[in-house]
Each structure stands twice: as structure tokens, then as C-alpha cells.
């Protein structure tokens, strides 16, 4: 059959309803691909020894409140059949104790297209190393204090001289300062981790800071570890079977929560690992179907007229068609 390269009234004479095929009719316009996002980085590790809590991973979103209680960011308008990079940041490792100290590691950045959220800062140690800066800052454990958070991503780590340790910053609040012991062998209270935020995309709380570790020497009442919410790990909490100290608790996977600081009582205990980050994407179902490429782990669900894609691990590309 000879192909038809140009339509005209004469070329389709005798056929019915051909008027809509002729020049002058509007071309088909595909639905606009607008994508809302939540990008959370990996949380910082808690410190060992008398350990500060890790800061939460940076929190950026176009829906609801963004990190550091800032306004929502601008929705992205993307192009179909185009690759967009996604990276899920790992949580930072907790510090390995060496006496009073034991510095951990910052969390890793998470990325979607042009949006980068900064990994959380690791907690500070009693041997005069401050909490690190990050998406949210790590909690301090001595005179240098807590690390700074990043604008529009997270808050600062708690500060306070001496011991026990302070909490890491969260997406919605600074890390808490410690309550010092009474000087009679009664340990103080580690600072609470900074509060996180609950996403309007999927109603999950994320990006809480890690709690600071407690401290106790010479009997008396044990120090109390700092608490944590929104995926942050609590400071180490001794048990009746292990009253001498405790490792910090890890931040929850895919929340960007900071790791808890170690609880110290004359032994060497390690900080908790930070929680890994996450990327959540929301877009009109009619605008196309997402492909989550090789190297990434993710899933989709529908919510009314929208699809929500949650990507939980790896590095790779996403596209729509």
C-alpha cells in the first residue's frame, strides 16, 4: 500500500467524518507532568563514649512544611521520556567508642533531579570534638557544642558544656541540651533528639534527631538517655542485665533519623547508625507511568487521581511515558 504523506479533501474523498483530520484542528497535547517530591537524606551516626546524638538528614518537600519549618518548595514540571537521577542517601555509621570519645560519620545526601538534601551531621564527643554540621546538626557532648543545620532542611544539634551528651537536630526542632548530674554520683539526662516532620504526601513522620547518651560514674542514680521521635534513635539505655552502659539506638530505615549517642559508665559503647533516606514522588496518574530504573528499589500506589512512588534504596534513573 502506498503511504499517504499529506491529507486533503481529495485524498479521502468519499469517506465520512474526515473533516476533523484536516488542517486547522488542534493537535493533541499530553497531560502536563507535574511532580511533587519529598527528598530526605541519610541521618548522621551517633557518637560513641559519652556520645552526642546524630542529626537528621535534610528534609525538602513541595507539600506541607519543609525542613527547618520553612515553606513548601516549588513543584517540578518534568518532561516525559527523560531520565531523572535518584539517589537514596545511606545513614552514617555510629562512632566506635575509644574511652570517652568515638566520632561517627555524617549521613549521605539524597537526590532527585535538581533537588539535593544534605546528610545529617554526626554527634560530637566528650574529647572536645563538636557535633558536625549537616542537613540537621549533630548534638554536642562537651564545650564545642552542637553542629549547625542547613537552611530549609533542618535544625541545629543541642549544645551544653560538660556531660552527658546533647541530642541531634531534627527537621522541625533543635536537638535538646543535657541536664547535668548533681555531682554526687547521680548521672544527668541526655538531650532529646530534635523533632521531625510528618509528610503531607504519605502521612509518615521522618527526620527526627538522635538522642544524646547518658552518663554515670561512681554509683547513684543512672543517667537517662535522650529520647527521640520521627525515626531518630534514642540514646543508649542500660538494662538490668547490662547496667554498665549501652550502645546508642539506630535511626529507623528510610526516615533519615539520626543515630542515638552511647550511654557511658566506665566502658566502651558505640553510637547508633543513622537511618537511610527516602525519595517520595507524587504525580497525576493521567500524566504517565513511571519507570523506576535499574539500581533503584521502589514501589507505587494510587491515591485518588494521583500516583505515589516511594524509592527506598540505590542510585539510578526514573522516567515517565
Beta strands in 113-190 (DSSP E): 115-117
- What are the residue ranges of helices labelled H in 142-252? none
Give the span between the Cα atoms of 131 and 142, in whole angstroms.
9
Region 291-317: mean pLDDT is: 98
Asked if 101 contacts 122 with a C-beta cutoff of 8 angstroms, the reply is: no
Give the span between the Cα atoms of 260 and 228, in whole angstroms.
8
Give the span between the Cα atoms of 42 and 285, in whole angstroms.
29
**For the chain, how many residues are written?**
321
Look at residue 13 and tell me whether its pLDDT is greater than 60.
Answer: no
Asked if 288 contacts 209 with a C-beta cutoff of 8 angstroms, the reply is: no
Look at residue 243 and tell me whether its pLDDT is greater than 70.
Answer: no
The pTM for the full model equals 0.88
Calculate what percentage of the chain has a pLDDT beyond 90.
Answer: 65
Range in 90-99, 104-113, 140-149, 261-270 the model is least confident about: 261-270
Distances from the Cα of 198 to the Cα of 61, 90, 203, angstroms: 11, 20, 6
pLDDT-derived band at 175 (thresholds 50, 70, 90) equals very high
Query: 34-70: per-residue pLDDT in tens?
Result: 999 999 999 999 999 888 999 999 999 999 999 999 9
Determine the pLDDT at residue 7.
45
pLDDT-derived band at 30 (thresholds 50, 70, 90) equals low
Which one has a higher pLDDT value, 71 or 224? Answer: 71
Which one has a higher pLDDT value, 251 or 237? Answer: 251
Compute the C-alpha angle 230/195/89, nearest 5°: 55
Which letter does DSSP use for residue 225 in this model? P
For 30, phi and psi rounded to 5 degrees? -65, 155
Amino acid at each position: 500500500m502506498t503511504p499517504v504523506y499529506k491529507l486533503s479533501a481529495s485524498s479521502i474523498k468519499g469517506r465520512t467524518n474526515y473533516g476533523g483530520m484536516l488542517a486547522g484542528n488542534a493537535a493533541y497535547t499530553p497531560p502536563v507532568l507535574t511532580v511533587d517530591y519529598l527528598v530526605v537524606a541519610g541521618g548522621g551516626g551517633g557518637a560513641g563514649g559519652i556520645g552526642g546524638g546524630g542529626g537528621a538528614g535534610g528534609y525538602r518537600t513541595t507539600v506541607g512544611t519543609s525542613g527547618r519549618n520553612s515553606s513548601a518548595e516549588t513543584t517540578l514540571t518534568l518532561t516525559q521520556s527523560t531520565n531523572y537521577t535518584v539517589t537514596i542517601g545511606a545513614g552514617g555509621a555510629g562512632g566506635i567508642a575509644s574511652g570517652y570519645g568515638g566520632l561517627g560519620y555524617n549521613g549521605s545526601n539524597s537526590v532527585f533531579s535538581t533537588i539535593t538534601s544534605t546528610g545529617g551531621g554526626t554527634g560530637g564527643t566528650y574529647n572536645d570534638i563538636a557535633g558536625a554540621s549537616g542537613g540537621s546538626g549533630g548534638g554536642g557532648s562537651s564545650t564545642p557544642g552542637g553542629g549547625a543545620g542547613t537552611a530549609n532542611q533542618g535544625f541545629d544539634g543541642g549544645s551544653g558544656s560538660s556531660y552527658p551528651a546533647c541530642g541531634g537536630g531534627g527537621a522541625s526542632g533543635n536537638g535538646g541540651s543535657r541536664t547535668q548530674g548533681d555531682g554526687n554520683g547521680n548521672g544527668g539526662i541526655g538531650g532529646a533528639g530534635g523533632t521531625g516532620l510528618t509528610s503531607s504526601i504519605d502521612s509518615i513522620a521522618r527526620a527526627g534527631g538522635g538522642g544524646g547518651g547518658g552518663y554515670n560514674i561512681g554509683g547513684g542514680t543512672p543517667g537517662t538517655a535522650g529520647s527521640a521521635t520521627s525515626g531518630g534513635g534514642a540514646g543508649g539505655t542500660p538494662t538490668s542485665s547490662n547496667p554498665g552502659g549501652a550502645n546508642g539506638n539506630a535511626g529507623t530505615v528510610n526516615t533519615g533519623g539520626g543515630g542515638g549517642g552511647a550511654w557511658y559508665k566506665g566502658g566502651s559503647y558505640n553510637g547508633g547508625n543513622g537511618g537511610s533516606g527516602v525519595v517520595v514522588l507524587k504525580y497525576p496518574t493521567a500524566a504517565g507511568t513511571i519507570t523506576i530504573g535499574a539500581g533503584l528499589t521502589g514501589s507505587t500506589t494510587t491515591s485518588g487521581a494521583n500516583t505515589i512512588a516511594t524509592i527506598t534504596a540505590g542510585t539510578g534513573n526514573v522516567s515517565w511515558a
